[in-house]
Structure 1
């Protein structure tokens, strides 16, 4: 009930993941990323534990391919899972279990991988990869472009209701973690609108954490 991508920006080293589903709050269960390590999507009859495990394996020195192979070995009911990973060198790997739901497929290239299940068309993941590679600018802009491309290619077989986008950079927390947990409208466009608002402030929120003396004020109550 989901389509997603994991990606690395070769210019900045940022990692990102974007995801959408007919299920509520999909990003809370399926999105995993760690600065300097990689990004992982764990979806389709989701086991959220697989995301942190894959990141731990990659942080320990495994490539995305080796980490996903180890996930296949260790994971329970792995025939029901989809796991997508990209590592710090831009290598990508995907596992799609044979019990993935409905029309399911996957696509990958250097620095980006996409997968989905219960899709309207088996070309959706390739459209997402192509959309990411064709886009330019900030990784957040490219993630939005990719998800829009997947939606234009058919998206999920039914309407999607939730979406999320996570970006990690050089600090120990996500520099962006935007979510639409449920809407009757398009959750991908909801995330796109959030990104338009958040993107100009992203660096300032990081600066506030690192050294608030140098952070700009936004004129909100208590912010002087």
Structure 2
């Protein structure tokens, strides 16, 4: 009922997961990740413990393969579950239970894995992976969404559409970006809109947040405010409307 991509951006070391499904709020229970640690997507007949316990193993230094083996080996219901994992070194491993509803499967390439179940066919994952690998020049969030859009164009979830999510972590446990369309007739275009909204203000403010290396964060936000003002002025000059539905500030 879901397809997803787990990847590590080689330039920045960021981890990202994008997911789409004909299921409510898929972003609430599929992606698990922490900056500098790794990323996990658990789907099909979901076990959130694959995510929470798998992250603990990643933090302890386990490999992606060790996590897949441990999570599925202890679980009598693994035959109906799907899991793909990327560890801190960018190594991937995946599992598709033999009772996952067709079409179901996974693919792994350098720095990326894709997996899905209840799909229109194997072409969904082929298109998703191909699109990701074909666009290394794109910003990471854009690259992940482009891959998911290609999978949707190839048939996506064979039941239809309902929700989608995109989550990216940098060096921290908290996400740098976490956007979701939980119940929407066309969730991937809605994620595109939300990413555009994030680019107007949110992602620039995110640069000022405290980190483990700087627990006070950016104390002088003037450079952030200037960047936001410059982008807003450029948008107005070009006659582009804001992507946001927010009410005016004044």
1:59-100: CA deviation from partner (whole Å, max 9, x where unpaired): 211211121111121234111110011112211111100111
Shift of 1:40: 0.7
Matched with 1:92 is 92
Distance 2:9 2:122 in 1: 26
CA displacement 1:142-174 (0-9 Å, x = unmatched): 110110111111111121110000000012200
Displacement of 1:26 in angstroms is 0.5
Give CA-to-partner distance per residue, 1:162-203, whole Å, 9 cap, x none: 00000000122001000000012x101110111122135314
Residues 1:141 and 2:147 are matched in the alignment: no
Tell me the equivalent position of 2:159: 158
Q: Which ranges in structure 2 are unaligned for 5 or more consecutive residues?
A: 211-215, 230-245
**2:235 equivalent in structure 1:** none
Equivalent position of 1:182 in the other structure: 183
The higher radius of gyration belongs to 2
Give the secondary-structure state (helix, strand or coil) at the position aligned to 1:213.
coil
* Whole-angstrom CA distance in 1 between matches of 2:115 and 2:106: 4
Alignment length (residue pairs): 221
Partner of 2:206: 205
Cα root mean square deviation, aligned? 2.0
Greater CA drift, 129-138 or 9-18: 129-138
Instruction: Structure 1 unaligned segments of length 5 or more: list them.
Output: none
Is the alpha carbon distance of 1:147 and 1:164 closer, same or farther for their aligned partners in structure 2, counting shifts above 3 Å?
Answer: same
TM-score computed with the length of structure 1 as normaliser: 0.92
User: TM-score, normalization: structure 2?
Assistant: 0.83
Does structure 1 conserve the Cα–Cα contact (< 8 Å) formed by 2:19 and 2:166? yes
